[in-house]
């Protein structure tokens, strides 16, 4: 039983003793006492006036006397205009702590036998994790932890976007400019190395577009005829045709990225139970779409492209498969959703995805429902706003994105600087200090990105996040350290 329930039970007994009337548990309104008044919890007595035939102030005073006289739970009371403010006996909290001191399960609810998958991170293999990924990762991990503590069976999933034209862009640039470079030969972390070639592709692409425009092409024509872009498209065709040489390069570069991701996830303290790869789900999506076409849920246009009509749902027609049979983003999303349910048969499937995909996720759920796919009703989009730095938005293709690794390094460096300036480094070994700076820096990073309502966009200020005062990670950590100090001094 929680404290509010104990208070309500005591009030019910007191009302019956004083007035010989029964009051339901739901009829009693208990709030935490406002900071400007003395007390811990407040009973609102106005709703009891008609039932008990007395003024709210009289009821509050009579109940207060009865509660303090008859129950050890209360030490004092006061009445403010019909509000009964009750002070809880400190012995209650002491007994509570003593009873739960060694209870490792305290705060955890028993299993409710509801299975939930939480999908988060979901990076592309053409670049490293960047700062924008961090809010997604921390939200997903936190939601998974909360659900786990609340008794749900949680599967933490990561969908890797490992195929498509954007992946081929990095591959083309490496073939053209890499000269056989590897993470080992360059000393560059694998995901960063591949990301450098993604930026190199776009730099080259821009120059080629400018050259074509200067020679008389329109901007639209130039974008489609740029040589490096045509090479990327050809590489994509080879990949989809199963060309061995192309697949070998694709696998090699993806492996470099995965090794880099693993290092970043370990630093962040992030783990997953299941990885999905879009290269293995897009074909399944095609099969499901073909089945929907046969069932009459979908329709084909003259160019053989496959669509679904959502106009009756106040949306529009949605392309699911191009006329040449190639997939679009939602094709593989349909396949992935089907595979996830087939693997785990979960009751809910939570997608942690930015708010720019609100429409996409609404359409995905609706398509799955209309095609009668199992688990469709359990799809839930945890939408969140983008994160910006004080100097504005970041774009991977332009190379002005802050890498997650660089942000972690910066936060640790700021934690070190602030701690040393406060003079709180005496008596620590070098290893202890290094661990301390990591704990402070990454704690500040996580807390700052989680403290804002997910639906809101936010600006991340590194210096502000590491502040040792106010609503920050280091302040919470400091409070924890103080509590540990009190407990050490208290002994057994």
Question: Which residue reads 């069932």 in tokens?
Answer: 295
Among 15-29, 103-117, 336-350, 384-398, the minimum mean pLDDT is found in: 384-398
Question: Which residue reads 């700021």 in tokens?
Answer: 414
Q: Report pLDDT digits (tens) over 353-408.
A: 999 999 999 999 999 999 999 999 999 999 999 888 776 554 444 445 788 999 99
Q: Report pLDDT digits (tens) over 272-301.
A: 999 999 999 988 999 999 999 999 999 999
Give yes or no for residue 202 having a pLDDT over 60.
yes
What integer pLDDT is reported at residue 397 of this predicted model?
Answer: 44
What integer pLDDT is reported at residue 490 of this predicted model?
Answer: 81
Residues 325, 328, 330, 336, CA torsion sign: positive
Q: Which of 40, 30, 45 is nearest to 86 (CA)?
A: 40
Which of 188-202, 445-459, 477-491 is most confident? Answer: 188-202
Give yes or no for residue 42 having a pLDDT over 50.
yes
What integer pLDDT is reported at residue 33 of this predicted model?
Answer: 96
Average pLDDT over residues 256-261: 97
Q: Report pLDDT digits (tens) over 92-146.
A: 998 888 888 777 888 899 999 999 999 999 999 999 998 889 999 999 999 999 9
Neighbouring CB atoms inside 10 A of 350's CB total: 22
Give yes or no for residue 26 having a pLDDT over 60.
yes
Order of strands, sheet of 274-277, starting from the edge strand that comes earlier in the sequence: 274-277, 153-160, 115-119, 348-354, 379-384
Spatial contact of 205 and 226, defined as CB atoms under 8 Å apart? yes
Radius of gyration of the chain measured on its C-alpha atoms: 30
Residues 299, 305, 306, 310, CA torsion sign: negative
What integer pLDDT is reported at residue 161 of this predicted model?
Answer: 94
What integer pLDDT is reported at residue 195 of this predicted model?
Answer: 95
Average pLDDT over residues 24-43: 95
Neighbouring CB atoms inside 10 A of 471's CB total: 10
| Sequence-ordered list of residues with C-beta below 8 angstroms from that of 202, at least 6 positions apart, any chain | 169, 397, 398, 399
What integer pLDDT is reported at residue 101 of this predicted model?
Answer: 74
What integer pLDDT is reported at residue 208 of this predicted model?
Answer: 97
Q: Report pLDDT digits (tens) over 403-435.
A: 899 999 999 999 999 889 888 788 899 999 999
Helix (H) or strand (E) holding 179: none
Average pLDDT value for the chain = 92
Average pLDDT over residues 32-40: 95
Confidence of residue 318 (pLDDT cuts 50, 70, 90): very high
Average pLDDT over residues 340-350: 98
What integer pLDDT is reported at residue 396 of this predicted model?
Answer: 44
Give yes or no for residue 469 having a pLDDT over 50.
yes
Average pLDDT over residues 448-459: 92
Residues in the chain: 492
What integer pLDDT is reported at residue 392 of this predicted model?
Answer: 53
What is d(CA 97, CA 160) in angstroms, rounded to the nearest whole number? 45
Q: Report pLDDT digits (tens) over 64-84.
A: 999 999 999 999 999 999 999
Counting residues of the chain whose pLDDT is more than 70, the rounded percentage is 98
Phi, psi of 150 (to 5 degrees): -90, 5
Average pLDDT over residues 432-446: 94
Average pLDDT over residues 256-262: 97
End-to-end CA distance of the chain: 26
What is d(CA 119, CA 432) in angstroms, rounded to the nearest whole number? 35
Query: C-alpha angle with apex 481: 475 to 487, nearest 5 degrees?
Result: 140
């Amino acid at each position: 039983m929680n404290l509010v329930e104990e208070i309500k039970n005591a009030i019910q007994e007191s009302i019956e003793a004083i007035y010989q009337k029964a009051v339901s548990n739901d009829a009693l309104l208990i709030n935490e006492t406002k900071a400007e008044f003395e007390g811990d919890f407040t009973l609102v007595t106005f709703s009891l006036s008609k039932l008990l035939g007395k003024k709210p102030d009289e009821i509050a005073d009579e109940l207060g006397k009865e509660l303090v006289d008859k129950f050890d739970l209360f030490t004092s009371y006061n009445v403010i205009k019909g509000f009964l403010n009750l002070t809880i006996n400190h012995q209650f909290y002491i007994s509570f702590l003593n009873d739960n001191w060694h209870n490792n399960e305290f705060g955890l609810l028993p299993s409710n036998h509801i299975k939930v998958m939480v999908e988060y991170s979901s990076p592309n293999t053409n670049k490293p994790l960047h700062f924008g990924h961090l809010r997604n990762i921390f939200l997903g991990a936190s939601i998974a932890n909360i659900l786990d503590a609340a008794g749900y069976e949680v599967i933490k999933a990561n969908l890797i976007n490992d195929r498509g034209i954007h992946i081929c862009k990095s591959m083309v640039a490496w073939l053209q400019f890499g000269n056989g470079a590897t993470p080992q030969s360059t000393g560059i972390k694998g995901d960063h190395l591949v990301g450098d070639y993604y930026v190199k592709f776009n730099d080259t692409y821009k120059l080629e577009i400018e050259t074509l425009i200067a020679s008389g092409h329109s901007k639209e024509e130039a974008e489609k005829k740029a040589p490096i872009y045509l090479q990327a498209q050809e590489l994509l065709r080879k990949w989809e045709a199963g060309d061995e040489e192309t697949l070998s390069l694709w696998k090699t570069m993806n492996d470099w990225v995965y090794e880099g991701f693993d290092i970043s996830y370990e630093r962040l303290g992030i783990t997953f139970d299941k990885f999905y790869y879009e290269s293995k789900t897009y074909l399944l999506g095609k099969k499901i779409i073909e089945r929907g076409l046969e069932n009459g849920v979908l329709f084909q246009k003259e160019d053989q492209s496959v669509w679904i009509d959502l106009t009756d749902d106040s949306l529009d027609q949605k392309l699911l498969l191009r006329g040449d049979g190639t997939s679009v983003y939602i094709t593989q999303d349909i396949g992935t959703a089907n595979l996830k349910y087939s693997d785990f048969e979960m009751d809910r499937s939570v997608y942690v995805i930015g708010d720019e995909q609100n429409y996409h996720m609404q359409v995905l759920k609706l398509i799955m429902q209309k095609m009668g796919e199992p688990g469709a009703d359990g799809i839930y989009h945890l939408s969140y706003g983008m994160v910006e730095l004080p100097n504005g938005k970041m774009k991977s293709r332009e190379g002005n994105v802050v890498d997650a690794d660089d942000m972690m390094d910066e936060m640790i460096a700021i934690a070190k600087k602030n701690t040393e300036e406060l003079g709180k480094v005496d008596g620590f070994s070098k290893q202890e200090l290094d661990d301390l700076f990591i704990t402070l820096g990454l704690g500040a990073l996580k807390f700052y990105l989680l403290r804002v309502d997910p639906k809101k966009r936010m600006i991340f200020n590194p210096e502000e996040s590491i502040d040792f005062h106010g609503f920050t990670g280091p302040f919470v950590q400091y409070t924890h350290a103080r509590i540990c100090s009190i407990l050490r001094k208290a002994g057994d």
